[in-house]
Structure 1
Amino acid sequence: MSAAISRCPSRTIEVSATTRPSRLRHQQGQWLLEEAGDVRTIEDGQTLPTRVGTWRVHLTRPAAQTGDYSSARTVASLVLRFSVHKYTGHIELAAQSEGDSFDLMACAHHLLLLTLARARLADHQLPPVQQGWVHQHALLQQLDFKANHLHLDIHRIRRQFAEVGVVDPGNIVERRPAARQLRIGVARIKIVEHDNRRMRTETNDVQA
């Protein structure tokens, strides 16, 4: 059995999973599934097994709160600058949007975002809609991550951008669920690599 979930009466939903206690909760504009201590993001179209059958989730996007949504800080408006320090392993991240700058500092989950940024830069000759898509299994192998680690880092990345006022943080990492692909949602990227001898810069100013 499958069912469409278009809205929910509360921000936390208890889910009777097949073998383990689970619940859905809404946080920072995302639906999260908590199960046996693990947290992962629920995507539109994803199926959830329960004791009464399999349910398919359909998420609706909230309408803009004002008529001037185009002036809001969106993922499409961002310019990201990564500063990669080769010998320390630090990945510092800064962003600009509509003339505003904000420092996202150095965080462990920036490694995932940097990896996706490199993939998008490598595809700069392709049309924007085709740039940067990476198969999840290849990404897990490249980063030596487990799936739970990947989902948790995506959640942390989206939460971090929500905390600096990005109104659509779910778009910072885009997904193609059927193809099990994902990519960074920002088109304008600059990567500066530092070592003791030289500095190398990669940029992409193509608008998505």
Structure 2
Amino acid sequence: MKHSVLIVLLLFGSSVFGEDAYTKTGKKVILNDDFTWKYAESAVVDLNTNMRKLERSSDHTSVLVSKYNTYSVYYNPANWFNAKASNEAAEFGFENTRKTSYSMLIYEGVEIPLETFPNLILENTKNVDPTAYIIDIEDVSVNGMAGKIVKYHASSKGLNFIFYSFLTSGKFGSIHFIAFTLESNFDRELEGFDSLISGLVVNK
């Protein structure tokens, strides 16, 4: 990670050295004149004002209500249907009507800090594919509930997949809403993933 940061600094010249900067996830770093950097003690700034917002659409006419009475999932039945999830821990599973993408929702009754949630997901994925890695993490709110969308890559049985997961947590517990498809298909499915995730409503 230090190498990639250093390359960026060299590309943009030396005027930034000795100044403060922020990573995409809001962590403050101090850039030194000797080409080194370190995290500042105050690690996180509030990025909520720039957070992308997903909201339920009027075409989300079908609904699944959690047996835990903590959340519901509204969805468009023309695009998705309820299906058995591939993971036994999931309460709900979905498959799109073209049979090219899949989704599932896992609920835990305990609160997990959002800053550590993505790495927990990655470590769990590495039990299946040790080479799995995170591509991007984005701060997002879904119907007013703050969380993170984590995009990560993993392989299984010679197939490459992209996972697109919304993570949120609070006093209600923790939710991991996963959508996934083949890597070659991801760009075509992204809009549908956002639409499905936007149907999540948490009972605060």
Q: TM-score, normalised by structure 1?
A: 0.30
More strand by share: 2
More helix by share: 1
